[in-house]
Chains A and B, each alone.
Chain A
Amino acid sequence: QKEVEQDPGPLSVPEGAIVSLNCTYSNSAFQYFMWYRQYSRKGPELLMYTYSSGNKEDGRFTAQVDKSSKYISLFIRDSQPSDSATYLCASAANRGSTLGRLYFGRGTQLTVWP
């Protein structure tokens, strides 16, 4: 069983739609949850960071973690064509050298069409 599972899509939505991206994880020790955004032919960049359970909001983006069901979500409101990218979820346990044990999902490819 993979540490982090993510549906690769692709997902295609019209501009202005609400987008929901999801991941599940298997390791109950995971405490850190992140979403990275990766544009075509570029490296990933951190979009959202959450520690433990709960919601985190940043502009049009909301990250949600439900530790009881081991479920990670990213919601994008009023989606824009510039949001077209691959979104990767990532998780890590609360141990030393955390970034050396960061597990990524497969990434979901999102296209927002005008």
Chain B
Amino acid sequence: NAGVTQTPKFRILKIGQSMTLQCTQDMNHNYMYWYRQDPGMGLKLIYYSVGAGITDKGEVPNGYNVSRSTTEDFPLRLELAAPSQTSVYFCASSYSMTLKSANEKLFFGSGTQLSVL
């Protein structure tokens, strides 16, 4: 059971460089999310998607872009990396976007630790 897979696990970028964080899930979930987790801080939602071709901004979208061409994949793009984007990035997926039961939960990947120097 692969679940949600993120690559790479670690990356160091120089200021101004670009990169794409990859995320794929094999649970056929329509809903996918990108969070960032700064040290000692809670998870902040960057972007989410309700299905292929449909994305929406979360709480902290500035400096990021996303696309969703397939149900399985939801890459996150950093165009001009800045030190403020140093963080751990988590991709997640869910069967639905409601919370009617504990089964409707987020499944997280193991994260990508990104440093921008």
Contact = CB atoms under 8 A, between A and B. Distances in A.
Contact of A45 (B33, B98, B101, B108): B108
Interface stretch (B11-19, B40-48, B64-72, B76-84): B40-48
Given A42-B110, A43-B4, A98-B99, A104 B105 contact: no
A104 B50 CA distance: 20
Which DSSP category, helix, strand, loop or mixed, fits chain B's interface? loop
Contacts of B56: 100
Interface residues of A, number: 28
Interface string B58-94: 1000000000000000000000000000000010101
Q: How large, as a class, is the contact surface on chain B? A: 20 to 34
Given A44-B108, A46-B106, A99 B43 contact: no
Given A44-B43, A105-B42, A99 B111 contact: no
A51 B103 CA distance: 13
Contact of A92 (B48, B50, B99): B99
B30 to A, nearest CB: 11
A6 B42 contact: yes
Given A43-B111, A46-B102, A96 B97 contact: yes
11 contacts: A4-B42, A34-B105, A49-B99, A49-B102, A97-B50, A97-B97, A99-B94, A100-B33, A100-B45, A102-B106, A106-B42
Interface of B: 4, 31, 33, 40-45, 48, 50, 56, 58, 90, 92, 94, 96-99, 101-102, 104-106, 108-111
